[in-house]
Structure 1
Amino acid sequence: MTELMMHAVQVHTPGGPEVLRYEQVTRPEPQAGEVLVRVHAIGLNPPDWYMRDGMTILPPEWRPVLAYPLILGSDISGVVEAVAPDVTDFVPGDEVFGLIRFPDAPANAYAEYVAAPVTDLAHKPASIDHVHAAAAPMAGLTAWQFLIELGHDTVPPFRAELHRPVPLHEGTRVLVNGAAGGVGHIGVQLAKWKGAHVVAVASGAHRQFLEELGADEVLDYTVTPPEESGAEFDLVLDSVGGPDTGRFLANVTRGGALFPVFSGPVDPEQAAAAEVSVSSTQVRASGVQLAQLAELLETGVVRVAIDSTFTLADAQLAHERAAAGHLEGKIVLTVA
């Protein structure tokens, strides 16, 4: 039987954006519990460039063994092409979006077709296009699982216990660092949805964008670093995280919480003395939670901003844009 082919972007050896190759590969077939999605758009996320680089962001002893060639990506939006015999939740022609298999297995999303577990998918909101839908899953579910509802019982890597979201309500003061980025700009909107007073940390160039999203205040870090502002918050969502996240202890009220999206060193004695809870988690695919987020996207309560779009064949240019930084929203690949 002749194999059906498709185009995909593959990595044959770790490196910079130049290692991305637009090639023909075998089209996948849906297995039990899966559907085949004809992809219209693919959202880019930091794990994409971490994988492309060979996970050099991690210490050598923690790096996974990668099998080459590999296809990057996990966020998709598209149309169901075919379903496995046991699938009843979706039918061919359904518009769907999802964070696929993350973080347990490769999704192979930089491709014209993706086989996806139905548990990772939700129906695409009719009021948004595939580009905006593809930009939503990982960033949206990350913000959701940090701020609203964990949705899983898996202790994240390098953490001792499960993350515990802080109840948000009117009067809760929330600081969002990296507020103009993918997770940050959705985090701002979810916190506002729950009634919180939200201060967004970003460069002044993003002020109007963040105010339009509902931020009550915008703190320009190029003028005043947040840790020097003297402002205190019940919760700091540091969507950047990493080695500098500990500086935000200065911004958390006694009994408050610091949530670094990318875990970094925080002095445990300093945190304990300030009675600050430091907690992080690993986003996981969830079609159930994505369906809840879809309702907010459908009604415009939450919107996803698009920094830029590139064709699948121009994935290298998309990764170069990501490396340049200072994004306002998400980068998306489009599939003809």
Structure 2
Amino acid sequence: MFAITQTTFGGPEVLRGTEIDRPEPGPGEVLVRVRAAGVNPVDAATRAGHFPLFPEPPLVLGWDVAGVVEATGADADRFAVGAEVFGLIKFPAPAGTYAEYVVAPVDQLVAKPAALSMAEAAALPLSGLTAWQALVQIARIEAGQRLLVHAAAGGVGHLAVQIAKARGAHVIATARAVRHGFLAGLGVDELIDYSATDFTTATETVDVVLDLVGGDYTARSLALLKPGGLLVTTVGHNSGLTPEEAEQHGIRLEVVFVQPAAQELGALAALAESGQLRVHVEQEIPLADAARAHALPGGAKGKTVLIP
């Protein structure tokens, strides 16, 4: 099968297309013919050797997948051959979705809803589960609460604001002005152009902050949190704040590290089916051009997806 491999850590140029052996499903696994594979920031960090999920190359990147079940292993009859499925598989262990075929644990896959294209389904798992686990599992966001989302137009952010709106929260978002129309269309209540305005003085206090930026954003966000409020960040390695320092300010700090979860992914699929969640795919790029996908500048709307 065709796959994108790398033999060394480095920049996008280390990603090369090659032929490798097609995997075979073992017990509890299915073979999926990949129709789309999501691209995530963790992919680039792993490619560069900055996120030690692989000991050494050679390796095949990718964890988000949408496709069709091609074959089933023993004790893996949850989906029949020909079923359309999607999921976040094996993370943080190697999965290898940048390929024509991938083996996936059957209990980490969900039936693809008709409301999502293959590209949209592949864009949803890692980003959607990150947002869900941050806001529903950790923050338990509910109607009437005020939520601030940093980097709200990105992959995780644009899904997070919709999850929060579906649960009745008042959502404030930071993004460049050029993204405000996009976010308003997703239901965001207040928009802050962080490049022109100090977000710490641009709105009233909030119950929860979802920080997808890190650095000084984490510590600066304390000024907007109510006493007893919660700051959830995805940037545990560079949050600029420790749990102890947050506690001294009367705030709780939590770091979310996404895990595969079929039941939660099913809940996200149900939101998509009901029209409450829209997955924005900014670019669909041929799998053979994966290096180009990795060379795209940051700050884009939504997600980029590879198409074999």
Q: TM-score, normalised by structure 1?
A: 0.88
Q: Is the CA contact 1:54–1:66 (under 8 Å) kept in the aligned structure 2?
A: no
Q: Is the CA contact 2:128–2:156 (under 8 Å) kept in the aligned structure 1?
A: yes
1:302 correspondence with 2:274: no
Return closer, same or farther for 1:198/1:64 CA change in 2, 3 Å cut-off. closer
Match of 2:81 in 1: 92
1:274 correspondence with 2:249: yes
1:117 correspondence with 2:105: yes
Match of 1:171 in 2: 144
Q: Is the CA contact 2:53–2:94 (under 8 Å) kept in the aligned structure 1?
A: no
Q: Distance in 2 between matches of 1:167 and 1:120?
A: 23
Percent identity over the alignment?
Answer: 46
> Which deviates more from structure 2 when the two are superposed, residues 274-283 or residues 241-250?
241-250
Secondary structure at the aligned position of 2:295 is classed as: helix
1:191 alignment partner AA: A
Of the three residues 62, 68, 81, the one matched with 2:70 is 81
| RMSD across aligned positions (CA) | 1.4
Return closer, same or farther for 1:304/1:230 CA change in 2, 3 Å cut-off. closer
1:11 correspondence with 2:6: yes
Q: Distance in 2 between matches of 1:75 and 1:69?
A: 19
Return closer, same or farther for 1:65/1:307 CA change in 2, 3 Å cut-off. closer
Return closer, same or farther for 1:298/1:268 CA change in 2, 3 Å cut-off. closer
Per-residue displacement from partner, 1:26-74 (whole Å, max 9, x unpaired)? 000001000000000000011100111012xx6xxxx456232100010
Deviation at 1:251, TM superposition (A): 1.3
Q: Distance in 2 between matches of 1:192 and 1:211?
A: 12
Q: Is the CA contact 1:246–1:267 (under 8 Å) kept in the aligned structure 2?
A: no
Match of 1:26 in 2: 21
Match of 1:3 in 2: none
1:52 correspondence with 2:25: no
Of the three residues 136, 152, 156, the one matched with 1:148 is 136
Match of 1:160 in 2: none
Return closer, same or farther for 1:267/1:36 CA change in 2, 3 Å cut-off. closer
Q: Which runs of 5+ in 2 are unaligned?
A: none
Per-residue displacement from partner, 1:206-261 (whole Å, max 9, x unpaired)? 00100000100111101112124363110000122245422111111111011111
2:259 alignment partner AA: R
Q: TM-score, normalised by structure 2?
A: 0.96
Q: Which runs of 5+ in 1 are unaligned?
A: 1-5, 150-164
Of the three residues 165, 187, 193, the one matched with 1:214 is 187
